Amino acid sequence: MSNTEVKKIEELTNQEYKYGFVTDIEADSLPKGLNEDIIKQVSAKKGEPEFMLEWRLKAYRHWLTMEEPTWPNVNYPPVDYQDIVYYSAPKKQPQLESLDEVDPELLKTYEKLGISLEEQKRLSGVAVDAVFDSVSVATTFKEKLKELGIIFCSFSEAVKDHPDLVKKYLGSVVPYTDNYFATLNSAVFSDGSFVFIPKSVRCPMELSTYFRINAANTGQFERTLIVAEEDSYVSYLEGCTAPMRDENQLHAAVVELVALDNAQIKYSTVQNWYPGDKDGKGGIYNFVTKRGACKGVNSKISWTQVETGSAITWKYPSCILQGDNSVGEFYSVAVTNNLQQADTGTKMIHLGKNTSSTIISKGISAGKSQNSYRGLVKVSKKAKNSRNFSQCDSLLIGDKCGAHTFPYLEINNPTAHIEHEATTSKIGEDQIFYLNQRGIETENAIGLIVNGYIKQVLAELPMEFAVEATKLLSISLEGSVG
Amino acid sequence: MLEVKNLHASIEGNEILKGIDLKINSGEVHAIMGPNGSGKSTLAQVLAGREEYEVTDGEVMYNGNNLLELSPEDRAREGIFLAFQYPIEIPGVSNTNLLKTALNEIRKYKGEEELDTFDFLALLKEKIKLVDLDQSFLKRSVNEGFSGGEKKRNEIFQLAVLSPKLAILDETDSGLDIDALKVVANGVNKLKTKDNATLVVTHYQRLLNYIVPDFVHVLHDGKIVKSGGKELALELEDIGYDWIKNGSPEVVK
């Protein structure tokens, strides 16, 4: 690589995280640490019914018997779970009808992020349930959705207002015993979103939540549950940015999706949490469990993710293809730069007959980062005629980063049809010079190549989200390539 | 338009160009000929700004500016176009997208407005006819899966769309059959005006039957050892390059 290119890359790489700011709002927090008493207090503060507290406590007791996993291809100092604040909420807890009643500090934060609710509200077709730290503060479009029988609210509200639904589906896809981080989440989850689409209803708008981790040292434990009844459809968008922090922040979310007969759920994520500075200081630990169950026949669940942030990502959005003819899809772009580490991929579990799954994973590694794809395709004995197509591509930018692929196949039925393709490529100086020679400067040349590389995944994102994703991508790759 | 004086350039410490002098005016077609390893492609790459080559001496003035001080992209924006000997594949980036980005960067540099999409597409459709490529090539990724001939035609197509002042064709004839050669030459000839110039770098004379040069320069061991009119190319065709290597007395600079 030529000197100018190296310099350019360094310049770009050294760009500061532009969403690093802290909102000054009085937080109502519990003391640091984790024990049964804390869990009882979390539950009490949220005014939860008894069954919820019971569930949390069961999870907590189970968690105590578990060990933190060490198999991911990531390295980080041990997390002190007693040094984390498990509950923090903005003190003024508004139940608001209009944005005028929202704490102006909050609104400013949203504006800095370029996602002001005012603007969002005007954007037709996008309902926003904004999660600020642990408690939802504003929900829009609720009334409109209500007419259709759609429930879109914070998880806390769902626990209070729709306890039967929560009881029925909570833990039905990711049980509280599932894994270390999901179990921790089950014990201490603060809030999140709840979506219920009744039978034969097609949700007329994209449902969208912006997350933001704010108070220092607050682990955020989101819990999201989406249930699509028979013949229904919903598209859900999750987008996040977090302010800059020196200490690492643990984020262990759980997302559960349930699709009944002929239902479709499309879940899209753009994740842009603070990745740490160029020396690897700070940044979010993103240890997430996302899983969807295609319980019904002909049901379909699609995961689309653009992951550009977090110091460490550990995340495998998965599909359990239980219903006959059900379809699972996973489209992913994972970008790592500087010292970021990502171990991400998916699991496609084929249980029903004629089930099919598609995996398109595009990893981009730059700087000194490490990017691993880890994916499992499992076909059970009874899953006759199931099909999978996997494509796992890695793009390397510069020569100090790493890309790794760990595909696992467990095929127990001879009628299965499995295809796997993988490529590794590098943005070459030849390509950059070629584009330079056409009048395109190096930064834009890289953008052009990267966008070309990931367009198959971007095409799966809803339009307005794709635009944002492209922007985030160029921010996180600014200064990455050679 | 272009004035090269005593240009020396090396790569990894090896001197390839050992004092090139060359003057190209608007409206002219120049041909650089020479055997393999004489430095023809190096000259093309150095003019385009490839940074692997270090210019150790000499100067290059281009429309009154010091060309060597400009970045490769600024040289392109100033109107220098290199048709690559080995065009690069860029998977996922369509020809249309590349050309749109390139053309708009060049226009922006000149303080012009971006071309609107309809005008741009009309321009592409008009220019692609010049090189006899199907319109489906517009949507295909740049050079990916193209045959050798298609890649070369694609270079000339880009040349047509970007309409530079100085086009440098680096061995554009290599790997072309006679029909493709005619198509490419015909495209280049149609783009010729009194305001632009072409520098054809080639090993063989045959391209010069179709792109007729005003001047021919023979390059050997990093120096221009002989210059003349178009008849020089024909002479070379007859006698080959051996005479240079053998140090024939008629070789005078």
Identify which of A299, A342, A345, A296 has the alpha carbon closest to the alpha carbon of residue A318. A345
ipTM score here?
A: 0.94
Q: Is A174 helix (H, G, I), strand (E, B) or coil?
A: coil
Question: Tokens 């199907």 correspond to what residue?
Answer: B134
Query: Which long-range CB contacts under 8 A does A172-179 form with residues at least 24 apart?
Result: A172/A256, A172/A258, A172/A293, A173/A256, A173/A257, A173/A258, A173/A291, A173/A292, A173/A293, A173/A320, A174/A254, A174/A256, A174/A289, A174/A291, A176/A55, A176/A58, A176/A59, A176/A62, A177/A59, A177/A62, A178/A289, A179/A66, A179/A69, A179/A289
Q: Considering only CB atoms, which chain A residues are within 8 Å of B91?
A: 425, 452-453
Q: What is the pLDDT of residue A99?
A: 56
Give every CB contact of residue B135 below 8 A, 6+ residues apart in sequence.
Answer: B125, B128
Whole-number Å distance between alpha carbons of A84 and A200: 43
Beta strands at A88-90 and A27-29: parallel, antiparallel or unpaired: antiparallel
Q: Are A338 and A278 in contact (CB under 8 A)?
A: yes
Whole-number Å distance between alpha carbons of A227 and A327: 16
Q: Are B226 and B35 in contact (CB under 8 A)?
A: no
Q: Return the structure tokens found at A31.
A: 């003391």
Q: What is the pLDDT of residue A392?
A: 93
CB contact under 8 Å between B73 and A425, yes or no, is: no
Q: What is the pLDDT of residue A76?
A: 81
- Count CB-CB contacts under 10 A for residue B107: 15
Q: Are A154 and A271 in contact (CB under 8 A)?
A: no
Find the length of chain B. Answer: 253
- Is residue B37 within a helix (H) or strand (E), and if so which, with residue range? none
Comparing A115-124, A275-284, A285-294, which segment has the lowest mean pLDDT? A115-124
Whole-number Å distance between alpha carbons of A151 and A153: 6
Closest in B76, B90, B94 to A439, CB measured: B76
Q: Are A382 and A351 in contact (CB under 8 A)?
A: yes
Please give, rounded to a whole number of angstroms, the shortest distance from the CA of A421 to a CA of chain B: 16
Beta strands at B2-11 and B54-62: parallel, antiparallel or unpaired: antiparallel
Whole-number Å distance between alpha carbons of A105 and B61: 58
DSSP A400-434: S-EEEEEEEEEE--TT-EEEEEEEEEE--HHHHHH
How confident is residue A123, by pLDDT bands cut at 50, 70 and 90?
very low
**What is the DSSP-derived secondary structure letter of residue B6?**
E
CB contact under 8 Å between B98 and A438, yes or no, is: yes
Cα Rg for chain A, rounded, in angstroms?
A: 22
- In whole numbers, what is the pLDDT of chain A averaged over residues? 80
Q: What is the pLDDT of residue A356?
A: 97
Query: Which tens digit of pLDDT belongs to each residue from A4-46?
Result: 544 554 554 445 555 555 555 555 677 788 899 889 988 888 8
**What is the DSSP-derived secondary structure letter of residue A202?**
B
Residue of B nearest to A434 (CA): B88
Whole-number Å distance between alpha carbons of B119 and B113: 12
Q: Are B253 and B247 in contact (CB under 8 A)?
A: no
Q: What is the pLDDT of residue A116?
A: 47
Amino acid at A167: K
Q: What is the pLDDT of residue A212?
A: 38
CB contact under 8 Å between B71 and A3, yes or no, is: no
β-strand partners of B2: B24, B62
CA dihedral sign, ordered A23, A25, A28, A31: positive
Please give, rounded to a whole number of angstroms, the shortest distance from the CA of B87 to a CA of chain A: 8
CB contact under 8 Å between B76 and A436, yes or no, is: yes
Give every CB contact of residue B194 below 8 A, 6+ residues apart in sequence.
Answer: B26, B27
Q: Return the structure tokens found at A86.
A: 């498990």
Asked whether the predicted pLDDT for residue A255 surpasses 60, the reply is yes
Q: Is A377 helix (H, G, I), strand (E, B) or coil?
A: strand
Question: Tokens 């504006």 correspond to what residue?
Answer: A111
- Count CB-CB contacts under 10 A for residue A407: 16
Please give, rounded to a whole number of angstroms, the shortest distance from the CA of A437 to a CA of chain B: 5
Q: What is the pLDDT of residue B252?
A: 40
Closest in A3, A434, A448 to B88, CB measured: A434
Residue of B nearest to A439 (CA): B73
Identify which of B168, B224, B226, B222 has the alpha carbon closest to the alpha carbon of residue B55. B222
Please give, rounded to a whole number of angstroms, the shortest distance from the CA of A101 to a CA of chain B: 44
Q: Are B64 and B26 in contact (CB under 8 A)?
A: no
- Count CB-CB contacts under 10 A for residue B188: 24
Q: What is the pLDDT of residue B176?
A: 87
- Count CB-CB contacts under 10 A for residue B178: 9
Query: Which tens digit of pLDDT belongs to each residue from A135-182?
Result: 443 445 666 788 899 998 888 888 999 999 999 999 999 999 999 999
Query: Which tens digit of pLDDT belongs to each residue from A339-361?
Result: 888 899 999 999 999 999 999 99
Q: Considering only CB atoms, which chain B residues are within 8 Å of A4?
A: 51, 71
Q: Are A293 and A173 in contact (CB under 8 A)?
A: yes
Whole-number Å distance between alpha carbons of B146 and B137: 9
The reported pTM is 0.77
Count chain A–chain B contacts defined by CB atoms under 8 A.
83
Whole-number Å distance between alpha carbons of B152 and B173: 8
Whole-number Å distance between alpha carbons of B56 and B43: 13
Whole-number Å distance between alpha carbons of B65 and B79: 12
How confident is residue A426, by pLDDT bands cut at 50, 70 and 90?
confident
Q: Are A460 and A119 in contact (CB under 8 A)?
A: no
Q: Is A5 helix (H, G, I), strand (E, B) or coil?
A: helix
Q: What is the pLDDT of residue A282?
A: 76
Q: Is A56 helix (H, G, I), strand (E, B) or coil?
A: helix
Q: Are A267 and A236 in contact (CB under 8 A)?
A: yes
Q: What is the pLDDT of residue A138?
A: 41
Question: Tokens 């492209």 correspond to what residue?
Answer: A470
Going residue by residue through chain B (253 aa), what tens digit of pLDDT does each one get? 999 999 999 999 899 999 999 999 999 999 999 888 899 999 999 999 998 999 999 999 999 999 999 999 999 999 999 999 999 999 889 999 999 999 999 999 999 998 888 899 999 999 999 898 999 999 999 999 999 889 999 999 999 999 999 999 999 988 888 888 999 999 999 999 999 999 999 988 889 989 999 999 999 999 999 899 988 888 887 777 777 766 554 544 3
Q: Is B1 helix (H, G, I), strand (E, B) or coil?
A: coil
Q: Name the residue with higher pLDDT: A295 or A272.
A: A295
Question: Which ranges of A246-370 would DSSP assign to H, the alpha helix?
Answer: none
Q: Name the residue with higher pLDDT: A400 or B120.
A: B120
Q: Dump strand ranges (E) for chain B.
A: 2-11, 14-24, 29-33, 54-62, 65-66, 80-83, 90-94, 141-142, 166-170, 197-202, 215-220, 223-228
Q: For residue A475, count CB atoms less than 10 angstroms from its CB and return exposed for 0-12, middle for 13-18, buried for 19 or more.
A: middle
**What is the DSSP-derived secondary structure letter of residue A79?**
P
Give the residue-averaged pLDDT of A377-384: 95
Question: Tokens 């005593």 correspond to what residue?
Answer: B6
Asked whether the predicted pLDDT for residue A48 surpasses 50, the reply is yes
Give every CB contact of residue B14 below 8 A, 6+ residues apart in sequence.
Answer: none
